[in-house]
Amino acid sequence: MAAPSHTAAPALARIQTDSVVAMLKTLNPGLQFEIIAMSTTGDKILDTALSKIGEKSLFTKELEHALERNEVDLVVHSLKDLPTVLPPGFTIGAVCKRENPYDAVVFHPKFVGKTLETLPEKSVVGTSSLRRAAQLQRKFPHLQFKSIRGNLNTRLQKLDELQEFSAIILAAAGLQRMGWQNRVGQGALGVEVRAKDQDMLDLVGMLHDPETLLCCIAERAFLRHLEGGCSVPVAVHTAIKDGQLYLTGGVWSLDGSESMQETMQATIAVPAQHEDGPEDDPQLVGITAQNIPRVAQLAAENLGTSLANLLLNKGAKSILDVARQLNDAH
């Protein structure tokens, strides 16, 4: 069976794909896997901010076409790249155990030892995320934020070799997977398959990490209800402790001057993996987990939707509407 990796981000995409294939081989020693290199629209358009491109499937469309044509059997994604509503015929068949979900600051060599707080006035910080820029602009108003695109290697090269950026913001998980901890979505890998391919659902379903799965269902339900994507600064964070799922979500204006955050919790008994109880239509926010009890999944989805409604009822819609208008206008 075949699994693609993105050619435009060869190192990280290949490492992520290799890690999933290695887990599948451990569980199924007799299976053979072929990894096919592919590139996507998001990999090719590097001179435009993600929030300006307007395509929701920037990093998935070409890969889904290959799935549809049966050229590949599964696709490994950073879960943050997958829209909360998938095209018909596709589903996320596995949510792997989440790694470090945090953002990391990487400084230009001349600013090693500094912090964002101690960077000089009007220092330029690069990020491809409106959410990161809005949050940091609010906390560090003396800094300027500018879009930076490209794979990890390219962004680090731009930081080190150009004099344009004093620092850049990256996902810590990506740096760790590349073995670049010394320079320091998010953090979870999702495996996309054909929704009706029961053999592949059974195969990759063994990779589901129950805690990460429930967290991601809640997060994706929150983002879907707010219509949060690359064009608005929306953030969400989850934690599970003592049978409680805690979900914190927030929205920001583009410049970070306005913000709104709330936290809700729900009782969720984290299930043991591979429990029985498949459903006729098991998808929730694009994820199929037939071996995880439905009641836990529904509780997680309801928590995400409820938190989104709480923020909307408190006025989040006006903040998001203005952010979308300003982003479209620039």
Q: Torsions phi, psi of 312, nearest 5?
A: -60, -40
Check: pTM over 0.75? Answer yes or no: yes
Do residues 56 and 118 both lie within one domain?
A: no
Question: Quick one: pLDDT at residue 73?
Answer: 94
In the chain, pLDDT over 90 holds for what percent of residues?
50
Q: Which of 221-230, 267-276, 287-296, 312-321 has the lowest mean pLDDT?
A: 267-276
Question: Quick one: pLDDT at residue 77?
Answer: 86
Do residues 70 and 174 both lie within one domain?
A: no
pLDDT for residue 281 is more than 70 = no
Q: Is residue 53 part of a domain?
A: yes
- Arithmetic mean of pLDDT, 35-54: 58
User: How many angstroms separate the CA atoms of 205 and 118, rounded?
Assistant: 46
Q: Model confidence over 185-243: pLDDT tens digits?
A: 457 899 999 999 999 999 999 999 999 999 999 999 999 999 866 678 899 999 999 98
Identity of residue 153: N
Do residues 148 and 261 both lie within one domain?
A: no
Do residues 304 and 198 both lie within one domain?
A: yes
**Of 178, 211, 238, which residue is a domain's last?**
178
More confident residue, 232 or 260: 260
Do residues 216 and 316 both lie within one domain?
A: yes
Question: Quick one: pLDDT at residue 50?
Answer: 47
Do residues 305 and 198 both lie within one domain?
A: yes
**Of 146, 178, 210, which residue is a domain's last?**
178
Among this protein's residues, is 81 annotated catalytic? Answer: yes
pLDDT for residue 291 is more than 60 = yes
- Arithmetic mean of pLDDT, 72-100: 89
CA distances to 48, 78, 159, 266, 272 from 148, rounded to whole Å, are: 9, 19, 10, 38, 41
More confident residue, 278 or 306: 306
Q: Which residues pair with 239 in a beta bridge?
A: 246
Q: Which residue has the tokens 């098991």?
A: 282
Q: Which of 75-89, 100-114, 273-287 has the lowest mean pLDDT?
A: 273-287
User: How many angstroms separate the CA atoms of 112 and 243, rounded?
Assistant: 41
Do residues 195 and 314 both lie within one domain?
A: yes
pLDDT for residue 51 is more than 70 = no
**Of 150, 178, 206, which residue is a domain's last?**
178
Question: The tokens of 223 are what?
Answer: 């983002």
CA distances to 18, 38, 62, 170, 295 from 2, rounded to whole Å, are: 12, 12, 15, 29, 33
Which entry of 18, 47, 73, 81 is annotated as an active-site residue? Answer: 81
For the chain, report the end-to-end CA distance as a whole number of angstroms.
Answer: 45
Do residues 238 and 172 both lie within one domain?
A: no
Do residues 33 and 140 both lie within one domain?
A: no
61 within 8 A of 192, measured Cβ to Cβ: no
DSSP letters, 74-112, are: -EEEEGGGS-SSPPTTEEEEEEPPP---SEEEEE-GGGT
Do residues 192 and 174 both lie within one domain?
A: no
Question: Quick one: pLDDT at residue 107?
Answer: 93
Q: How many domains does the chain have?
A: 2
Question: Quick one: pLDDT at residue 33?
Answer: 92
User: How many angstroms separate the CA atoms of 26 and 262, rounded?
Assistant: 41
The number of beta carbons lying within 10 Å of the beta carbon of residue 86 is 19
Do residues 241 and 318 both lie within one domain?
A: yes
Mean pLDDT of the chain: 84
Q: Is residue 325 part of a domain?
A: yes
Beta 90-95 vs 234-241: how paired, if at all? unpaired
DSSP 236: E
Q: Which residues pair with 2 in a beta bridge?
A: 34
DSSP letters, 156-169, are: HHHHHH-SS-SEEE
User: How many angstroms separate the CA atoms of 139 and 73, rounded?
Assistant: 44
pLDDT for residue 7 is more than 70 = no
More confident residue, 227 or 18: 18
Identity of residue 54: G
Distance of CA 20 to the CA centre of its chain: 17
Domain that holds residue 150: 103-178
Q: 280: domain CATH number?
A: 3.30.160.40
Q: Which residue from 153, 286, 160 is spatially nearest to 216, judged by alpha carbons? A: 286
Coil, strand, or helix at residue 211? helix
Instruction: For residue 41, name the pLDDT band (cuts at 50, 70, 90).
Output: low
Do residues 298 and 167 both lie within one domain?
A: no
Q: Model confidence over 146-163: pLDDT tens digits?
A: 999 888 888 899 998 888
Q: Which residue from 220, 195, 228 is spatially nearest to 93, judged by alpha carbons? A: 195
Q: Is residue 174 part of a domain?
A: yes
Q: Is residue 183 part of a domain?
A: no
pLDDT for residue 91 is more than 60 = yes
Instruction: For residue 9, name the pLDDT band (cuts at 50, 70, 90).
Output: very low
Question: The tokens of 121 are what?
Answer: 């006035």
DSSP letters, 224-243, are: HHHT-STTS-EEEEEEEETT
More confident residue, 47 or 170: 170
